[in-house]
Every structure is written in structure tokens, then in C-alpha cells.
Amino acid sequence: SKRHLHTRRRLEAGELHVYYQPILDLQTRQIVGVEALARLIDRQTGVISEPAQFLPDLDTSEDQYHLVRQVLRQVDTDVQVWDRAGLSELSVSVNLPPSLLMRGPWLDRLLSTIGEMRLPPHRLILEVLETEGDIPLENTIDSMLALKSRGIRFALDDIGSAYSTLLRLKDLPVDSVKLDQGFVRELCSHPEDLIFIEALMGIAEVLEIDFIAEGVETLSILDALQGLHVPKAQGYAIARPMPGNQFLEWYHHYQ
Ligand code: G
Ligand code: G
Ligand code: NA
């Protein structure tokens, strides 16, 4: 389609920018990582497009691979700058569509792109959704294991947004789970939901996987999560996603 070609052309024209949202360790109160979030910025107008506007246009695996490769390369450049500026060794989470973990040339291409990065693999976390379209994550385990054997970690995104997730969690080779934003955002109006977060966290603990609460918009929710001993948090109450150079400045003021 025309839109599809348009988005692909914008990527090829270098309109991709990577924004970063910090991830806070609630026990140490240190920033321990960032999530990389794609943006397209129009060269003429400066208008910023968010993923919801352009991701649907990238409907082939080829296009999706194209995006993730550009994101990984930009991440690698930005992390070099942060490391030289003396930031502690941050992890970077990058979103990966499960279609790239299905049979095909994508695994090898991902491995070679990641192999070219200066970022050590143990600092890279790939965020995957449990299902995308009709791809169950179970069908991607071999690829996940191949990437994990290089030291890369996986995070399961948006848990708590579907029933099945928790039942399948024990079968998936993930190192962390990210609690769905909707869940956290509604805590203001439904404080009794804290017990569900506690239960989800208990499952993560038993499986020895890390737990990150997303969508933390207020300091009172941040405090409530800390009171529950939630390990990590991400959200507007800590910081909004921002460009790499701005993140560097923000980090220096925050610490
Ligand atoms: O950046 P924003 O908060 O608008 O992100 C909205 C959604 O888009 C999130 O669910 C996020 O996982 C997804 N997303 C952001 N950046 C990327 C990317 O680089 N690749 C993929 N596949 N998804 C992304
Ligand atoms: O799970 P996912 O990767 O989609 O989450 C990233 C998305 O969530 C991005 O679109 C980001 O801008 C958005 N986001 C991050 N923190 C918050 C928050 O505290 N509140 C809201 N409403 N959105 C958030
Ligand atoms: Na994500």
C-alpha cells in the first residue's frame, strides 16, 4: 500500500529517532536501564510520529527487521556516548516483534546485527509480547534460546493483560516480565488491585524472573509499589521517553 511504502521510505530516509525511557530499581533507587522506543520525525515539519501511527504500516517481516536493525544501530551509538560520559552500565530493552523469531532468515540476520554491536550482549534485553497476530511465543522458543546462548536476555511485555500469560510463563525462556500499564494506571481508582500485583510478583519470584511495573504515573503509586517490594518501575512519574542526548542530561541531574 501507499502508506506502507511511505513509512518504509521514511525509515530509509533516516527519519527514525530512538527515544529512551529510564527504568528505576526501586530497592537501590538507581537507574539500571532504559527502554528504547521508536519515533519517526518529519524532516520538514519536525512532527513526531509515535509507533501506534507507523508500526501497523510495517506489515512484513522484512520491514520489521529493517526497523529493529535501525533501532539497534542507533542504540549502539547512543550507549557508546553514555558509557564515555561515565554512566553506570545500563541495560537497554528493545522491542522485538515475534515474527522475527519465526523460521526464516531473521534469526541469522538478528544474530549478525547484534554481533556487530559494541554493546555487550548481556546489556541487551529483547522485549516480546506473548502473542502478536497469530504467532504464539511458544513457536519462537528455539530462536529465543539461540539468542540467549549469546548472552541476550528476554522480557515478556504487558503481562496481566491476558489470562493465559501466567500459565505459559513457566514454559517461556524469559528473564523478566513487564506488568501491563493498564493495571498500574488504575491503581489510583482501584487500590485493592495491589494484591493482584503482589500475586503476579510472587509467581515471578518463584520462577526467579525479574519484575518491572510499567505506566507508573504518580509518586504515590511509585511509593505503593516500593512498599510492596516491586523490584523495578518505569513511567511518567520517573521520566517520559526522551532523545538520547536529553537522557544523558536527565541522568546527571537525577542521580
Ligand atoms: O513509544 P510508545 O510509548 O508510543 O510505544 C507504543 C508501543 O509501541 C509500545 O507497545 C512499544 O512496545 C511499541 N514500540 C515502540 N518502539 C518500538 C520498536 O522499535 N519496535 C517495535 N516492534 N515496537 C515498538
Ligand atoms: O509496553 P510498551 O512498550 O508499549 O510501553 C511503552 C509505551 O508506554 C510508550 O508508548 C510510552 O510512551 C508509554 N508510557 C510509558 N510510561 C507511561 C506512563 O506512565 N503513562 C502512560 N500513559 N504511558 C506511558
Ligand atoms: Na515494550
Tens-digit pLDDT profile for residues 92-137 = 999 999 999 998 899 999 999 999 999 999 999 999 987 777 778 8
The number of residues in the chain equals 255
169-200 pLDDT tens trace: 888 999 999 999 988 888 878 888 888 899 99
At 1, is the pLDDT very low, low, confident or very high (cuts 50, 70, 90)?
Answer: low
255 — pLDDT class (breaks 50, 70, 90): confident
d(Cα 153, Cα 145) in Å, to the nearest integer? 10
In angstroms, rounded to a whole number, what is the distance separating the alpha carbons of residues 122 and 249? 25
Q: CB-based burial of residue 189 (10 Å sphere; 0-12 exposed, 13-18 middle, 19+ buried)?
A: exposed
Q: Whose CA is nearest to atom 9 of ligand 1?
A: 51
Which SS3 state, helix, strand or coil, does residue 76 take? helix
User: How many Å lie between the centroid of ligand 2 and the Cα of residue 108?
Assistant: 30
Ligand 1 center to 37 CA (angstroms): 5
> Cα–chain-centroid distance for residue 62?
20
- Give yes or no for residue 138 CB within 6 A of ligand 1: no
103 burial via Cβ count (<10 Å: 0-12, 13-18, 19+): exposed
**What is the pTM assigned to this prediction?**
0.96
The complex scores an ipTM of 0.95
Protein residue with least CA distance to atom 8, ligand 1: 51
Rounded to whole angstroms, the Cα distance separating 149 from 145 reads 6
Place of cell 507508573: 216
Q: How confident is the model at residue 164 (pLDDT cuts 50, 70, 90)?
A: low
In the predicted structure, residue 162 carries a pLDDT above the cut 70: no
Domains and CATH numbers, the chain: 2-254 (3.20.20.450)
